Structure 1
């Protein structure tokens, strides 16, 4: 599978770090088609600063929005209409011939991109396999299994889970109840830098490549 979409069970669960590690592990290209909250920095610049394989290209966003809000609201405030057909066309143009393209979403699967189109709809149109980024917190089992159920209902292929933060047995329950495999976990780090991402990518490389084979 040469197109991988990184989604999360919510906002702030580590999608960008997961994206950097997966991109490094697979020597893939990286793309975040819709970035909101750009005045606080962009995920593309973050991933670009963390990937050091000399192969990855971090492609520019299709839409960069200032407001730290859901894309449909941020776009509305700037009188912009997000065109998901345009995003799919760009993805086809950006897709490397012999390497994967890692695509990072904004928030979770049911975040609206327009008044009528959800992130889940875009994932389906992109024909991507999904990696779910999850962290352990009160309520995370519910959020994780809701995400898994939505993907199952939509018939979207799921590669597996990457967990972050401190280990909790909740992870085992999420894997068991969802039926999706655990790719690995990225521990809490005092400093996330190139060396940390490179180390985590090495640990994720074998299980990722086995699941994608």
Structure 2
């Protein structure tokens, strides 16, 4: 059976795309066909949705763009606000159909969420409802910076309350000057009831292919 994972983060800008791409490369290195999906992308730069472009580049299976990214919103703001301002209604069922189509094409589908785990999608639903509809185990990206312990533990609690499995977490060193990084990682290893898949070092550029070797997908 094809498998997939929903990648969420402790906040926006913590490295969900980097981690998703690194996971895609890691599964490809393990001999799997893997494709990335960004159901809702908010933020267009020079006519391109950068997160989507990176996922496409990291995938080893081609697919139609409307399947990879059903909702492309121009403004880099919360999805429900960007959608409302442009008259778009985000339909989770539409995302689910696209996801099922991608599952027919690849052994692994990596679905990158938008923002944090509870970011609203409309007046009723949020990202957790999307993850629950897809029924995927979750990979949590923790952006290592001051405050990450609280954000990580709150997100993990929300994932468990939603009834989903927390398959693993990734520590991403987004703040090279953060004090006591090792101690923070150690704390989360003891408090998050899932394996640490890897620690991604700080870099000025995206190096997803190189980071793939730093992830231990044997736990997934």
TM-score (norm 1): 0.89
Query: Does the aligned pair in 2 maintain the 1:30–1:57 contact within 8 Å?
Result: no
Number of paired residues?
Answer: 203
Give 1:48 deviation, angstroms: 3.3
1:56 aligns with 2:70: no
Give 1:101 deviation, angstroms: 0.3
Which residue among 88, 91, 115 is the counterpart of 1:83? 91
- For residues 60-104 of structure 1, the C-alpha deviation after alignment (integer angstroms, 9 at most, x for no partner) is 210111111111110000011001011111111111455100000
Give 1:47 deviation, angstroms: 3.0
* SS of residue matched to 1:16: helix
Which residue among 36, 42, 60 is the counterpart of 1:36? 42
Q: Where does residue 9 of structure 2 map in the other structure?
A: 8
Query: Does the aligned pair in 2 maintain the 1:162–1:183 contact within 8 Å?
Result: yes
Which residue among 74, 77, 83 is the counterpart of 1:66? 74
* SS of residue matched to 1:168: helix
1:198 aligns with 2:209: yes
Q: Which structure 1 residue ranges, 5 or more long, are not aligned?
A: none
CA distance in 2, matches of 1:44, 1:111: 19
- For residues 4-34 of structure 1, the C-alpha deviation after alignment (integer angstroms, 9 at most, x for no partner) is 1110000110101001100111121001011
Q: What RMSD in Å do the two structures reach over aligned CA positions?
A: 1.8
Q: Where does residue 132 of structure 2 map in the other structure?
A: 124
Q: How does 1:121-160 map to 2 (within 5 A)?
A: 121-160=129-168
Q: How does 1:164-203 map to 2 (within 5 A)?
A: 164-165=172-173, 166=176, 167-192=181-206, 196-203=207-214
Query: Does the aligned pair in 1 maintain the 2:171–2:199 contact within 8 Å?
Result: yes
Q: Which structure 2 residue ranges, 5 or more long, are not aligned?
A: 29-33
- For residues 115-142 of structure 1, the C-alpha deviation after alignment (integer angstroms, 9 at most, x for no partner) is 1001001101001111111112111100
Query: Does the aligned pair in 2 maintain the 1:149–1:178 contact within 8 Å?
Result: no
Q: Where does residue 18 of structure 1 map in the other structure?
A: 19
